[in-house]
Structure 1
Amino acid sequence: MSQVSREDFTHILDSVREFIATRVIPREREIADADAIPDDLRQACKDMGLFGYAIPQEWGGLGLDLAQDVELAMELGYTTLSLRSMFGTNNGIAGQVLVGFGTDEQKQTWLERIASGDVVASFALTEPGAGSNPSGLRTKAVQQENGDWIIDGSKCFITNAPTADLFVTFARTRPADENGAGIAVFLVPADADGVSVGERDEKMGQQGSLTADVHFDGVRVPASALVGGSEDVGYRAAMTSLARGRVHISGLAVGTAQRALDESLRHAAVATQGGTPIGDFQLVQAHLADMQTGIMAGRALARDAAAKWVSGEDRRLAPSAAKLFCTEMVGQVADKAVQVHGGSGYMRESTVERIYRDVRLLRLYEGTSEIQRLIIGGGLVKQAKKDAQKP
């Protein structure tokens, strides 16, 4: 059960909604042009507890469960996705590795500082040859006689790498065998000898969200840096953290789709063609109807997947189904939004033009749409085979 009451959570949502409407949306173009989140907005997010909204209260966070997380994500998705990206890894794929799998000592060392935003944690998993499927991981960690580990390898597209204080780093310690995948996860301070961060990536969208390559060249960390104190925690931690993150991304997609629809409705109500508001044209109404239907379906699916996660009923197929549908849906909604706006929707000053570029990434990170289909289809067939063997 959540530690946050319904009343308190309503207050949190209201505060975030007001913050986005009054302070972030007016500065979206500024964020995009500067490719950075202004310092005052970053500090405001820290003050509101957004760097630790999903970290348990005992470690200084707000303690939202995933059902509440999704509702918050729908609000955060209503503005530039780079704002959420600034604190997303602290709450999500990086922070949840520590919450779910860290030792007491590791939690005490890092979680309060992650929750406050004093430490930015990055999730260093993706490599050129190992993205949605980490089994191809090439970064290696070798244990020394004194118990230390030496890490060598490179990561790519690592969110918040240029500002990270801590890299939650996945590395292979042995080939996969009957005992497990042979993938461990380590807590590597960004200032450790041998850690270097490449130039900031130049991306299609989500300006203000910082990503870069990270290189580990003979990086030495103590035995205490091994998450959970076990070599075999890594793969399970990655899969669990990513599955949880997929539900969150579903909520983000719904929020962004709602923004695209709202922008389209405002445009359809005032823009005219031949003296008639374009919203009166039935073909424009058809686009708006399809957008609304997709958003309603996505919102219901995201909430259902979150509820199933919280109850423990389904933490595998439902997250993948929600992410697959919602991220594909927001792509379609964004496309229709540009169409409704016509030529003005293709101009850089248009909100829907930014949304069109921003949401393309949602179908790629934390597991591509193709990977989600494999998880869902494979899981269904596996269950069907079990059912077929029953007397």
Structure 2
Amino acid sequence: MSSSTAASGRTPLTEAAPFALCAREPRVPAERLVAEMVPPPRFDSVRFDTYVPDPNQPSQSEAVTVLSAFAAGLGARPAGGPGGGGRRWFARKPQRPTGPRGVYLDGGYGVGKTHLLASLWHATPAPAEEKAFGTFVELTNLVGALGFQQTVSTLGGHRLLCIDEFELDDPGDTVLVSSLLGRLVDAGVALAATSNTLPGKLGEGRFAAADFLREIQGLSARFRPLRIDGEDYRHRGLPEAPAPFSDEQVTKAAYATEGASLDDFPGLLDHLAAVHPSRYGALTDGVRAVCLTDVTAVPDQSTALRLVVLADRLYDREVPVLASGLPFDRLFSDEMLNGGYRKKYFRAISRLTALARDAKGLVAE
């Protein structure tokens, strides 16, 4: 540290200036999309015994019990079936386990559904190549990259497919994935899925579960809905999200943090329009922190939906987000929050708020 820097008390800068996400144009081969269908880093080490049920919400403990039994029932190979991770191209159809072939976790934001879904993946006694885990968006991206039939062939040899954040607001994609799930169930693949109940709908019965089961029609009898009640754990007993910082504070933190990116928020939103959402994970490869200046309200629905996908990828990878401008709970207009995609927007606000809290330590006191 130079004497002038020491005297001023400023945070020393890293040797390399922060890079910009806007400068990245990732290319992602289809093989990577398949290989990455595992629980994301944030949920790599979670297990059923690391889930902490709220004692005031017995449905949370019940979900652990039901899912543990479901995982155990997926371990045995049917007699005469192939061993290892080989595809069951010519094997006879596997014996179906007793009870529903799928489970659906129905609940609000932050009650631990993804934790439980990832725990199910880890607990299922099968090689990793016989299990797949991905979000609804990642699954539709896979179909887009491989084609419908190849996706059926690729996933048809699996014992378990976990789908996080099943989307009910895009009829086309929902029908596409429903058709895919029907083919996979016929091939002997067990299914597990999560979705969200809106905060204002909690206590009004199986709101999301009814929507989900209606959309997948013929698969309904093969799913057991599990209601998981509770408050958002991301705000349970935790301080409120920090207020946005100044542009100067964000910029200094970006220069002082190895592996940080630094972007103007409106510019980043424009760049996301030029990158397919299936590549947003690759867009964040190696990023240790995302620093954003001049956060403003999202101007339109298409832009907002792209931001939701980016927020999911950052949350999965535990990348803190430091920002100046508007707080994250003001990103989306009232019209958006009351519209058809409101579930996605509430999820994005919840996750970005958690990442903003994680980033608070990047700013020198």
TM-score (norm 1): 0.27
Larger RCO, structure (CA 8 Å, separation 6 or more): 2
More helix by share: 1
